Amino acid sequence: MDVRKRNRVSVTGREGGPVVMLAHGFECDQGLWRLVAPELEKHFQVVLFDHVGAGHSDVSAWSAERYSSLDAYAQDVIEICQELGPGPVNFVGHSVSAMIGVLAAVREPGLFERLVLLTPSPSYIDDGDYRGGFSEQDIDELLESLDSNYLGWSATMAPVIMGNPERPELGEELTNSFCRTDPEIARVFAKATFLSDNRADLAKVTVPTLIAESARDTIAPREVGAFVHAQIPGSELVTLDSTGHCPQLSAPEETAEAIIAFVQGP
């Protein structure tokens, strides 16, 4: 099996520099890193990839049984690291990929130099004293939104192709792939993302870890960031002055700075 093709792995940036691997979350595909990747490429060798089922990954490698738990995604990350080898990588995981990175680093700590967890949440569902922010019914509503909207994707894309003459970097290639996911795959990934509980895995992380949370994030609120920080021994926490769950889009400069400072740090 060709791991590079399966996950559409791309390697860019400074050859011989520290390797920084950027993992997209439940949201869309590796295109989500477009605004921070150029800055990171000045310092690092940047590895981008799509999770199986997302973007331009090899969809034939996807199956509902395999990809209904985050373990499969973590295994894929491990395989990409082994394929890239031999040195350890700095892994930046956004949203659910933060937890995928945690699982991979717990299983194979030798493959990881550092972890950057961008807007992580180990569990989205409220449980006793823990405030994940959501109930299972809320997740059902999300699944309903996914079901209501996949029909619209082609309609969403069409005007966009014509509508951005002033932003050529958002060309046809991007608009055709970005966020467009098979509804069945999106549903399985949504369940794996929002119904997983990885709180117990945090304490097992031995790799130096930075938690980068967004100041105003309804999906991973600040108390969740504080929880992750408290659970991972010796971790650092930085709060980005950004709104929303995707600081790499809403505050790309600041996000890139935080990653660079941590990867180059002592």
Partner 1 sequence: MTVSPGGDQADGSWAAGDRDQEQLSFSALLEDSVEDLYENAPCGYLSTLMDGRIAKVNGTLLKWLGYRREELVGHKQFSDLLTIGGRLYHETHYSPLLRMQGEVSGIALELKAADGSRLPVLVTSTVKQDIDGEPLLIRTTLLDARDRRTYERELLRARQEAERDRERLQRLAATLQRTLLPPILQPVPGLDVAAHYHFASSDEVGGDFYDLFPPAAGRWAFFMGDVRGKGADAAVVTSLARYTLRAAAVSHPVPAMVLASLNTALSQASQEDEPRFCTVIFGLLTPQGEDGGFHVVMAGGGHPPAVLLRADGSADYVPTPGGQLVGVVPDAEFTTATVDLGPGDTLLLYTDGLTEARTPRTCERYGDEALLDFARTLAPVSAPGAVNALTELLDSFGEGLDDDTALLAMGVPSVSPRPG
Minimum distance, C-beta of residue 124 to partner 1, in the bound complex (Å): 9
DSSP designation for 60: G
- Structure tokens of 210? 């930075």
- Structure tokens of 17? 């520099």
Cβ neighbours for 148, distance < 8 A, ≥ 6 positions apart: none
- Structure tokens of 76? 């894929």
Burial (CB count <10 Å: 0-12, 13-18, 19+), residue 232:
buried
By beta-carbon proximity to partner 1, the closer residue of 49 and 178 is: 178
Alpha-carbon distance values, 91 to 57, 140, 181 (Å):
19, 31, 24
- Structure tokens of 125? 């569902």
By beta-carbon proximity to partner 1, the closer residue of 129 and 166 is: 166
By beta-carbon proximity to partner 1, the closer residue of 145 and 264 is: 145
By beta-carbon proximity to partner 1, the closer residue of 83 and 223 is: 223
Minimum distance, C-beta of residue 135 to partner 1, in the bound complex (Å): 8
Minimum distance, C-beta of residue 74 to partner 1, in the bound complex (Å): 20
Largest CA distance in the chain: 51
Residues with catalytic function: 95, 217, 245
By beta-carbon proximity to partner 1, the closer residue of 87 and 159 is: 159
Minimum distance, C-beta of residue 133 to partner 1, in the bound complex (Å): 9
Cβ neighbours for 230, distance < 8 A, ≥ 6 positions apart: none
- Structure tokens of 202? 């945090």
What CA–CA distance (Å, rounded) separates 7 from 174?
17
Residues in touch with partner 1 (CB under 8 A): 25-28, 31-32, 34, 95, 134-135, 138-149, 151-152, 155-156, 159-160, 163-164, 166-167, 170, 174-175, 178-179, 194, 216-219, 243-246, 249-250
> C-alpha angle with apex 4: 192 to 30, nearest 5 degrees?
55
Minimum distance, C-beta of residue 241 to partner 1, in the bound complex (Å): 10
